Chain A
Amino acid sequence: IAGITQAPTSQILAAGRRMTLRCTQDMRHNAMYWYRQDLGLGLRLIHYSNTAGTTGKGEVPDGYSVSRANTDDFPLTLASAVPSQTSVYFCASSYAGLSTDTQYFGPGTRLTVL
């Protein structure tokens, strides 16, 4: 059982470039999430999706977009990367998106924007 996979593992990107971070889960979870982790700030929610076809904004959505065409995939796109988007990005999923749910996390993508 793979759980959640993320790609790429790490990436160095020039400012102004477009980048899509990929996330795939094989647990048939309805809800998926994207977080960014920055030193001293913990994890902050960027976007989420409670079910395929729907998405919502989290705490720090500016500069990011997501789509949820099917249950398994939840890509995160940076349309025009800026240095402040340098971070470690984690994708997560949960069974139903309820506030009682356990979230399961991928291994992360380390992104550096120069």
Chain B
Amino acid sequence: AQSVTQLDSQVPVFEEAPVELRCNYSSSVSVYLFWYVQYPNQGLQLLLKYLSGSTLVKGINGFEAEFNKSQTSFHLRKPSVHISDTAEYFCAVSSQGGSEKLVFGKGTKLTVNP
């Protein structure tokens, strides 16, 4: 079975500052990795996903994430955040070739202050 750990439950930053949201996973098999974003009072939407190939994945709204197999990490980054990036961010993992469904981390609440 796979699991996901999001190391920070809350991350406050100032507008235009860079941000990194950390995600580590655990799995006995190869995985696919996802980041979803949830804006206030909305459902989740996909930011980006890693399936194969380049370990640097670019997503919507200027976000990117890097898959590091040796460190079992998939950290999310943005070089300059906006007020509108205030949201909760969820890292998720699914196993390659397995029947297990998507497993979500507990979420990181990003608050961007002016």
Residues of A within 8 A of B (CB): 4, 33, 35, 40-45, 48, 58, 90, 92, 99-100, 102-108
Contacts and interface: CB of A to CB of B under 8 A. Distances in A.
Interface of B: 9, 32, 34, 41-46, 49, 51, 90, 94-98, 100-102, 104-107
Given A100-B51, A102-B49, A58 B101 contact: yes
A4 to B, nearest CB: 8
A43 B41 CA distance: 15
**Chain B: interface secondary structure?**
loop
Nearest to B34: A102
B7 to A, nearest CB: 14
A45 B97 CA distance: 19
B107 A42 contact: yes
A92 B42 CA distance: 13
A108 B32 contact: no
B102 A105 contact: no
B106 A105 contact: no
A102 B33 CA distance: 11
